[in-house]
Structure 1
Amino acid sequence: MHSFTWATPEPPHRCSQLFVEPILLEAARSHDACHVSFGARVVGFLECDGIVTASVECDATEDKPAETKSIKARYLVGCDGPRSMVRKALGIRFEGLSGEKRDFMGGQMDAVYFYAPEIYKISPHKPAWQYWTFSPKQRALIIAVDGQGHFIMNVQMREDEVPDDDTVRRRISEAIGADVPFELKSSSTWTAGFTLVAERFSLGNVFLAGDAAHLFTPTGGLGYNTGIDDAANLAWKLEAMLKGFAGEAMAASYEAERKPSALRNTTFARAFADSIGRVQVPAETFASGPSGTAAREAVGAYLAFHATAEFVIPGVHLGTRYESSPLVAAEPGPVPVDTANLYVPTARPGHRAPHAWLADGRSLYDRFGPSFTLLCTAHHGINASRHQALERAASILPHLAVLNIDDPVVADLYKAAFVLIRPDQHVAWRGEELNEEFVTAALHTVGRVSEGTSAVVDAAA
């Protein structure tokens, strides 16, 4: 058993998709503009003159028979998984490694869902959210789903093996290592060892996100988290394009920002899979006596090291950076190290805006606006109604919020009098004055990279 903490204001939290999806569904249904359909599949689409028409097959219901209907939209986002119909229809290929072989987490795997609350009673340790189990016959990974006795087990299979229920039951017993009653819920096979990223993330008005754009071996849990970042990045850009304040570079910036992030994260996930998948477990590990004890201690020490390497990864989640993006006012100088296990807070443009606790106990993040935020750390603050450059920027960036924070901790952290923060909470620009450079940065932030500031002056006149 291994425990650890993150040096972050909010600790990481594991939550099964079984519980996340109902929350997301409820949130989606709360928006009048969002229509959720079950039993419906997009089977094809066509883009013409900036409009995407999707063909949707709808299953029969009690109220109406099965039908195929057309839906028209400005944009289509393919979030349809690793076998994405949208990606294939666009002719976009995955690039990278497929099905790397390892002793574990490489090749054909069996995912088993079972119920065994007695596990917590027979374990000599405190309840854990994940267990690695080893025996002469198999290696297994057991993950707690709800902390109440439901578990997911992943176990390596032989290449030609087709598991049946009896085989799966034997595997559960072998992994638990004790005579514990359990209920088998389901079992399905999958393939580990993928490090794949789509060659393109968009084409025309069609975008790819999540597993449709990148496919991971799930070590580190980076596939889902990378997909969430895709959505956060694309959502505000779609809003800008739909509402007409985005420039010509906005659509292309999605791939420019997210593809390098996917390549980065698949590399991290592959390293984690190698670390746990290639660990050597000598025969002495299962022996009695001093040699067995020493072997188990050695394997345990390595697993403790690996647990930190795979799961204490604030650098992966918080260190995403878009310094080469056309929407970002890049700065010269050394770039903070990009490693999985270390996050170095920085307000360099392209990086996630660093967090700080304010003097009143509130989080700085809770003060950011829902759209764009101009953070002012100068002692004298700024009067938004009396600043021409700010007025011009506000005509470019709808709902621009001005946040005056007179706090030496924040000033030292952001190292600039003014910082422009995007809706996805990445820094777009920072500087000491609100001048022509700031207005140009505002234009670039929404993809209007070919326009000069004179166009803004003319528009405001």
Structure 2
Amino acid sequence: MLDCEVIIVGGGPVGLFLAAELGQRGVSVELFDAKSGTSRHPAANANSARTMEHFRRIGIASKVRSLGLPADYAPDVAYFTSIAGDELARLHQPASRDAVEWAKGHAFTWPTPEPPHRCSQLYVEPVLLDAARSYPDCHVHFSSRVVDFTQNETSVTATVESDVGDTRTVTARYLIGCDGPRSFVRKALDIRLAGMADEKREFMGGQMDAVYFYAPDIYRVSKRAPAWQYWTFSPRQRALIIAVDGAGHFIMNVQLREGEVADEDSVRRRIAEAIGADIPFEVKSASTWTAGFALVAERFGAGRVFLAGDAAHLFTPTGGLGYNTGIDDAANLAWKLEAMIKGFAGDALGASYEAERRPAALRNTAFARGFADGIGHVRLPDAAFEASASGDAAREAIGDYLAFHATGEFVIPGVHLGTRYEASPLVEAEAGSPPPDAANLYLPTARAGHRAPHVWLADGTSLFDRFGPGFTLLCTKAASAAFDADALQRAARALPRLAVVRIDEAEVAQAYGAGYVLIRPDQHVAWRGDALDLAFEAAARRTVGLCANEAALVTQ
């Protein structure tokens, strides 16, 4: 007998988002996490445009965008000798209150209803928790650890221990490991990580000390406008300080040198050196972590057990890609779990998760590694720390490079929006070549496998808000006035909650290049064409794993 349909191991942002989306889809969930509650130490601090689009789909984007830095606080990225010292370079970014209107005016660069938002995991997790718990069949249990699981052809049974010593078993159709970089689930499946590990750099390549502290006087002693990220370079250390709330709370990351330890005295010395002024500060918490990883699991699951987030891939956090790749994992997996559980597809659909998401993880770890190289190998000449004409020239020169790097790492719509699944077994590849997969340029396309292009409609609303929670058949201005209702009805039998949406606007027809477009629940294009014919019916079946040769889906 089943206790629920999905067990989630891990209650970080990926596990909580997956629980919320499954809850919204009417799938019963039991989530277990060993922690006593949501995070108390800031970690991920950047929500990508794609993550914010997923948050919009489950109804929490506005709430998340209201959190973090004050609405009028520009989340700039700035580089200094010290925060109270010389500014070397700065990338200006719009404040949260202006971000959506700014994106409308920069639609060529950011064609999205949800531009990136700088907000710590510290604030995002409680929103995700509330969203998950708003569904009656979605239960989140903290202080509870999954210590074992077994699976058979029809179910997975997990053994759960609570902090008070109680033990129980829970049986579900599927189990998802969202339990982080040291994933118990991944190790239990004997799945290895492959890729680059322990790369050494001057920064973002070794043992890192992360310190959460309170120092509101930073804003008083700085000679410049506030920033979201403060990168500091001194003769003895480099530091990355991130503003958490714009009111004096910061998280600082410093790379430990050979033989250094993260004791209380050294932590306080490092903070003082990065600030560059004698001001009071309060250390609230600290942790250590290792930079220099670009690792991806060799498999993303086995049988009825899947991996998502840090359990499936490890990043050096330049570009903020680890957490955001995990959210995209969960968005890809959620609708597939719904389809398998509710009988719209066979279990063969599950194989497409690895086929789509593992290449995406390899892509994103490569981007993050490149960003880490771009900042981690920078070396300032000794003259950059001199108060002289040669010092001014050195600082200007290094500032030119840092400004170039900042654009390369943080103006990355192609990374955020350009993930594509053209090689997926769920997609019939289109003829011709797709747009380039570049970090700093995103060229929208409605080719099968790509994220559906976004368009602001004539009434000022987002096209994405017209899509249904299941599959959407978008009928554009180019569609024929009458379509084959029988073909649509036959296709609908294979598709969860198919919504038919007609938009008679020329810009939409131009963006999609076809009369009819089948869009998946995760907003990727499944198929496009100019007739609801046999090709449409075949695409509808294929996209939920009901292709003619299901064995081929399992092996690809």
- What's the TM-score bracket when you normalise by the shorter of the two chains? over 0.9
Q: Structure 2: which amino acid aligns with 1:395? A: R
Tell me which moved more, 396-405 or 346-355: 396-405
- Structure number with greater CO (CA < 8 Å, separation at least 6) is 2
TM-score w.r.t. the length of structure 1 is 0.95
Q: Does 1:33 align with 2:133?
A: no
Q: Structure 1: which amino acid aligns with 2:497? A: H
Distance (Å, rounded) in 2 between the aligned partners of 1:40 and 1:197: 27
Q: Does 1:392 align with 2:481?
A: no
1:424 to 522, 525, 540: 522
Q: Structure 2: which amino acid aligns with 1:334? A: S
1:127 CA drift (Å):
1.0
Distance (Å, rounded) in 1 between the aligned partners of 2:519 and 2:461: 18
1:16 to 105, 116, 120: 120
Q: What SS class does the counterpart of residue 493 from structure 2 fall into?
A: helix
1:326 to 425, 436, 454: 425
Distance (Å, rounded) in 2 between the aligned partners of 1:325 and 1:49: 25
1:2 aligns with: 91
1:116 aligns with: 215
Q: Structure 2: which amino acid aligns with 1:3? A: H
Q: What SS class does the counterpart of residue 50 from structure 1 fall into?
A: coil
Cα-to-partner distance string for 1:17-58 (whole Å, 9 max, x where unaligned): 110011011111100110110110001100123211101111
Structure 1 contact 319–352 (Cα < 8 Å) conserved: yes
Point out the structure with max Rg over C-alpha: 1
2:505 to 374, 384, 407: 407
Distance (Å, rounded) in 2 between the aligned partners of 1:380 and 1:373: 15
Q: Name the CA shift for 1:99/1:428 in 2 (closer, same or farther; >3 Å).
A: same
2:414 aligns with: 315
2:322 aligns with: 223
Distance (Å, rounded) in 2 between the aligned partners of 1:382 and 1:28: 41
Q: Structure 2: which amino acid aligns with 1:426? A: H
Structure 1 contact 114–182 (Cα < 8 Å) conserved: yes
How do residues 26-175 of structure 1 correspond to structure 2 at under 5 angstroms? 26-60=130-164, 66-175=165-274
1:329 CA drift (Å):
2.2
1:381 CA drift (Å):
5.6
1:244 CA drift (Å):
0.8
Q: What SS class does the counterpart of residue 138 from structure 2 fall into?
A: coil
Tell me which moved more, 263-272 or 8-17: 8-17
% of aligned pairs identical? Answer: 69
Q: Structure 1: which amino acid aligns with 2:506? A: P
1:209 aligns with: 308
Structure 2 unaligned regions, length at least 5: 1-89, 95-102, 104-108, 551-556
TM-score w.r.t. the length of structure 2 is 0.79
Distance (Å, rounded) in 2 between the aligned partners of 1:10 and 1:228: 15
Structure 1 contact 250–446 (Cα < 8 Å) conserved: yes
Distance (Å, rounded) in 2 between the aligned partners of 1:29 and 1:174: 44
Distance (Å, rounded) in 1 between the aligned partners of 2:510 and 2:478: 12
Q: What SS class does the counterpart of residue 361 from structure 1 fall into?
A: coil
Structure 2 contact 340–347 (Cα < 8 Å) conserved: no
Structure 2 contact 332–353 (Cα < 8 Å) conserved: yes
Cα-to-partner distance string for 1:137-160 (whole Å, 9 max, x where unaligned): 101110011111100111110233
1:11 CA drift (Å):
2.3
Distance (Å, rounded) in 2 between the aligned partners of 1:151 and 1:123: 14
1:448 aligns with: 546
Q: Structure 2: which amino acid aligns with 1:20? A: V
Cα-to-partner distance string for 1:243-278 (whole Å, 9 max, x where unaligned): 011135311000000000000000000000000000
Cα-to-partner distance string for 1:213-235 (whole Å, 9 max, x where unaligned): 00000001000000000000000
Q: What SS class does the counterpart of residue 140 from structure 2 fall into?
A: coil
Q: Structure 1: which amino acid aligns with 2:132? A: A
Distance (Å, rounded) in 1 between the aligned partners of 2:324 and 2:479: 39
